[in-house]
Amino acid sequence: MHSDRPVEALLFTRAGCHLCDQAKATLEQAGLRVSEVDVDQAPELVRRFGNCVPVVVIDGRPRFRGHVDPVLLRRILRARA
Give the span between the Cα atoms of 44 and 49, in whole angstroms: 9
Q: What is the pLDDT of residues 10-63, one digit of tens each?
A: 999 999 999 999 999 999 999 999 999 999 999 999 999 988 999 999 999 999
- Residue among 13, 42, 80, 15 nearest 32 (CA): 80
Using pLDDT thresholds of 50, 70 and 90, give the confidence band for residue 5. Answer: confident
Helix (H) / strand (E) containing 58: strand 55-58
What does pTM read for this prediction?
0.89
CB neighbours of residue 59 within 10 Å: 11
Name the DSSP letter for residue 4. Answer: S
- Residue among 78, 73, 56, 74 nearest 65 (CA): 56
Using pLDDT thresholds of 50, 70 and 90, give the confidence band for residue 3. Answer: low
